[in-house]
C-alpha cells in the first residue's frame, strides 16, 4: 500500500508539472499576442526551402528571462553554425517529467510539446478572430508521447488525433491520456475515454490550414536521455551579473562529446584590453581562449571587429572552421593569413553576410583595409 501511494504521488506530481508547463506556454502565447495582436508564425521558411526559426523560439522572450533570444542570429537558420550551439541544452519548461528523453543524438535540447498545425504553420500568422468556434474550443499546444524534436526546430507542430500514446509520435503522456493548452490559456486533459467527436472538433476547429502550409519534412531525430555536450560560462571581470540578460557580459564555451572546445562565444573588453574572469585569474577574450583551446572549431566575436590581430590569433587554431564577427576591418596581410588557414570554411557577419576566405571582398580603401 505504501509503495502504491508513493508511486501515485509521484505520478500526480508529474501530471502537475506538465500542466504547469502548458500553462506557462499558454501565458507566453497570450503575452506575445498582447504585443503583436497575432500568434507567432509557426515556421519561417524561405522561398528556397530554408527553415529559419519557429514558434517556440519566438515565445522564448515570454517564457523566461534569459539571454538566449538576444544571442540568436535571426539572419541564419536555427541549425546554422552561427546558432546551433545555442540550442544544445535542455529547456526545463519544454520538458515533461513523463518522458526520459531530453536531447537528440546531436545534443539539441528537446521539446515534449508541439503545436496545433491549424494555428501554427508555415509563413502565416493567425488571430483570435479566426477562431470562429470560440477560443475555449480551440487549442494551441499539447504534450506528445514520442518522436520528440529539438525545441529550436521550426516545424514543431503535429495533428491531434486518436489514439493517444500510439508509439508513433501521437499526443499522449500517461494512462492513455494527454494534456493540451486551449486557446483561452486553460489546460484540458483528453483520454481514450474522451468522445471522438470532441477530439475531432478540436482538430478541425477553424482556422483550418491548407495541407501545404502544415506539411512536415521527413527529418527524424534520434532521442537520448542525456547529452554529452557541455557548456561553461565565465563572467567577465567588472561586469554586473544582474544585467546578464544582455548576453554579452562574459564568454560561453561549448564542448563537444569528446571534451574538445567546439564553439566559443567570446567577450571583449570595451576598452580593448585583455579580459579576465571576475577573479582576475583566467583570460576569456580571443587571445586567451585560443591559447587555452587551439582546437576550437568556431569563434563568435561578439560586437567586435575582425582585425589583423584577431586574424593572427585565429590562424593559430588547428581546426577552426567558422568565424563570426560584427564587422571586418583587415589588411591584405591579415586577409592572407585567414586564406592560409587550411580548415577555415566561412567568415560570417552578424548581419547575415557570409564568405569563404578566398572570396572575401577585395575592395580596399586608401589605408589598404576593407570594412564591410
pLDDT, tens digit, for every residue of 309-356?
999 999 999 999 999 998 888 889 999 999 999 999 999 988 888 889
- The answer to whether the predicted template modeling score (pTM) of the entire model surpasses 0.95 is no
* Among 330, 325, 334, 313, residue whose Cα is nearest residue 354: 325
**Same-domain status, 34 and 181:** yes
**Same-domain status, 352 and 292:** yes
**Same-domain status, 10 and 112:** yes
User: Collapsing DSSP states into helix, strand and coil, what is residue 322?
Assistant: strand
Q: Where are the alpha helices (DSSP H) in the chain?
A: 2-36, 55-63, 68-71, 196-204, 211-214, 286-292, 308-314, 332-339
**Same-domain status, 354 and 257:** yes
Q: With a cut of 50, which residues of the chain have pLDDT below it?
A: 5-6, 242-248, 362-372
Q: How many CA atoms lie within 13 A of 14 on its CB side?
A: 17
**Same-domain status, 297 and 210:** no
Domain closes at, from 219, 253, 277: 219
List all residues 6 or more positions away from 194 whose beta carbon is below 8 Å from its beta carbon: none
| CB 72, CB 213: distance < 8 Å | no
Could you give the CA distance from residue 180 to residue 9 in angstroms, rounded to a whole number?
22
**Same-domain status, 255 and 203:** no
Residue 71 lies in a domain: no
DSSP codes of every residue in 112-176 = SEEE-TTTSBBTB---GGG-TT-GGG-EEEEEBSS--EETT-S--B----SSSS-SSS-B--STT
Domain closes at, from 192, 219, 246: 219
pLDDT at 369: 40
Q: Where are the alpha helices (DSSP H) in 166-252?
A: 196-204, 211-214
DSSP codes of every residue in 79-94 = TSTTTGGGG-S--GGG
**Same-domain status, 207 and 258:** no
Residue 72 lies in a domain: no
pLDDT at 247: 46
Number of Cβ within a 10 Å radius of residue 33: 16
**Same-domain status, 18 and 166:** yes
**Same-domain status, 361 and 242:** yes
Q: Residue 175 sits in which domain range?
A: 2-45+52-64+90-219
Count: domains in the chain: 2
**Same-domain status, 160 and 281:** no
**Same-domain status, 117 and 251:** no
Residue 73 lies in a domain: no
Residue 258 lies in a domain: yes
pLDDT at 255: 94
Domain closes at, from 219, 249, 270: 219
Amino acid at each position: 500500500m505504501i509503495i502504491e501511494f508513493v508511486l501515485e504521488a509521484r505520478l500526480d506530481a508529474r501530471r502537475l508539472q506538465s500542466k504547469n508547463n502548458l500553462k506557462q506556454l499558454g501565458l507566453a502565447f497570450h503575452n506575445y499576442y498582447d504585443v503583436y495582436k497575432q500568434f507567432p508564425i509557426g515556421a519561417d521558411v524561405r522561398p528556397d526551402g530554408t527553415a529559419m526559426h519557429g514558434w517556440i523560439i519566438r515565445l522564448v522572450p515570454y517564457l523566461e528571462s534569459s539571454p538566449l533570444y538576444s544571442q540568436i542570429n535571426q539572419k541564419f537558420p536555427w541549425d546554422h553554425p552561427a546558432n546551433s550551439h545555442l540550442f544544445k541544452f535542455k529547456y526545463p519548461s519544454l520538458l515533461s517529467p513523463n518522458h526520459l528523453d531530453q536531447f537528440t543524438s546531436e545534443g539539441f535540447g528537446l521539446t515534449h510539446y508541439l503545436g496545433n498545425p491549424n494555428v501554427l504553420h508555415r509563413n502565416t500568422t493567425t488571430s483570435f478572430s479566426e477562431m470562429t468556434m470560440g477560443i475555449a474550443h480551440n487549442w494551441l499546444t499539447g504534450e506528445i508521447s514520442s518522436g520528440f524534436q529539438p525545441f529550436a526546430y521550426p516545424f514543431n507542430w503535429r495533428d491531434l488525433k486518436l489514439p493517444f500514446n500510439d508509439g508513433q509520435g501521437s499526443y499522449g503522456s500517461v494512462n492513455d491520456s494527454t494534456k493540451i493548452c486551449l486557446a483561452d490559456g486553460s489546460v484540458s486533459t483528453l483520454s481514450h475515454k474522451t468522445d471522438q467527436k470532441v477530439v475531432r472538433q478540436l482538430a478541425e476547429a477553424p482556422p483550418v490550414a491548407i495541407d501545404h502550409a502544415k506539411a512536415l519534412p521527413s527529418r527524424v531525430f534520434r532521442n537520448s536521455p542525456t547529452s554529452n555536450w557541455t557548456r561553461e560560462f565565465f563572467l567577465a571581470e567588472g561586469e554586473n551579473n544582474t544585467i546578464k540578460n544582455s548576453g554579452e557580459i562574459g564568454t560561453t564555451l561549448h564542448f563537444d562529446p569528446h571534451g574538445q572546445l567546439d564553439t566559443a562565444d567570446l567577450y571583449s573588453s570595451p576598452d580593448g584590453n585583455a579580459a579576465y574572469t571576475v577573479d582576475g585569474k583566467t583570460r576569456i577574450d580571443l587571445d586567451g581562449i585560443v591559447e587555452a583551446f587551439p582546437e576550437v572549431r568556431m569563434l563568435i566575436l561578439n560586437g567586435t571587429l575582425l582585425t589583423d590581430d584577431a586574424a593572427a590569433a585565429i590562424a593559430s587554431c588547428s581546426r577552426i572552421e567558422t568565424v563570426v564577427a560584427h564587422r571586418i576591418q583587415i589588411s591584405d596581410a591579415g586577409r592572407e593569413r585567414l586564406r592560409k588557414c587550411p580548415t577555415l570554411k566561412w567568415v560570417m557577419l552578424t548581419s547575415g553576410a557570409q564568405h569563404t576566405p578566398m572570396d572575401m571582398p577585395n575592395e580596399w580603401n586608401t589605408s589598404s583595409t576593407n570594412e564591410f
